[in-house]
Amino acid sequence: MTKAVIWFNRLVLIAASFIMTAIAIRQLRDPIGSTAALDIVLGSPTAVTVARVGFGGFPLGFAIALFGCLISTKRLLTGVSLVAAVVGAATLARIQGLVLDGVTPYNTALLRPEFALLFFSTIGIALERRRVSRDPHRKSLSGSAS
């Protein structure tokens, strides 16, 4: 069961890292073309750079952080928690957009994968907490020095 939980969480982190890296590469390579497909017009060099940083740099940084969590078994809980926090916040923002700005096919299509990633990361958090609490080799958190 322990190895299955570890690999489940690694798969969640691999999926999230892949998605964020793909978003980042697309936005870093061609922010004008990537945003134009959504009717977003970047009208100045500053706007292009802001889009490159916000839509490319931040997802790439997140993907790198997730990769760091992926390669260390001790950081799996941190990684799946980050996925849940970021995807949860993005999903809430998307739902707010649907309510305030109207329903669009693009936004409703993205809700399914976002909910799935949020669901799997939440399951991963619960499984990882259980795995760590049952690990006889983990250090005591009681504060006693040994």
Mean pLDDT, all residues of the chain: 92
Whether 57 is covered by a domain: the verdict is: yes
Whether 70 is covered by a domain: the verdict is: yes
Residue 146 has pLDDT above 60, yes or no: no
pTM: 0.86
**Integer Cα distance of 53 and 42 in angstroms:** 13
User: How is the chain classified by DSSP, letter by letter?
Assistant: -HHHHHHHHHHHHHHHHHHHHHHHHHHHH-HHHHHHTTT----SHHHHHHHIIIIIIHHHHHHHHHHHHHT-GGGHHHHHHHHHHHHHHHHHHHHHHHHHH---HHHHHHHHHHHHHHHHHHHHHHHHHHHHHH-TTSPPSS----
How confident is the model over 79-108, as a mean pLDDT? 97
Residue 118 has pLDDT above 50, yes or no: yes
**Integer Cα distance of 135 and 88 in angstroms:** 29
Residue 38 has pLDDT above 50, yes or no: yes
Domain that holds residue 123: 2-134
pLDDT tens across 128-141, in order?
A: 999 999 876 665 44
Whether 140 is covered by a domain: the verdict is: no
Whether 143 is covered by a domain: the verdict is: no
pLDDT tens across 58-91, in order?
A: 999 999 999 999 999 999 999 999 999 999 999 9
Q: What is the pLDDT of residue 143?
A: 44
Whether 141 is covered by a domain: the verdict is: no
How confident is the model over 119-128, as a mean pLDDT? 98
Our count of domains for the chain comes to 1
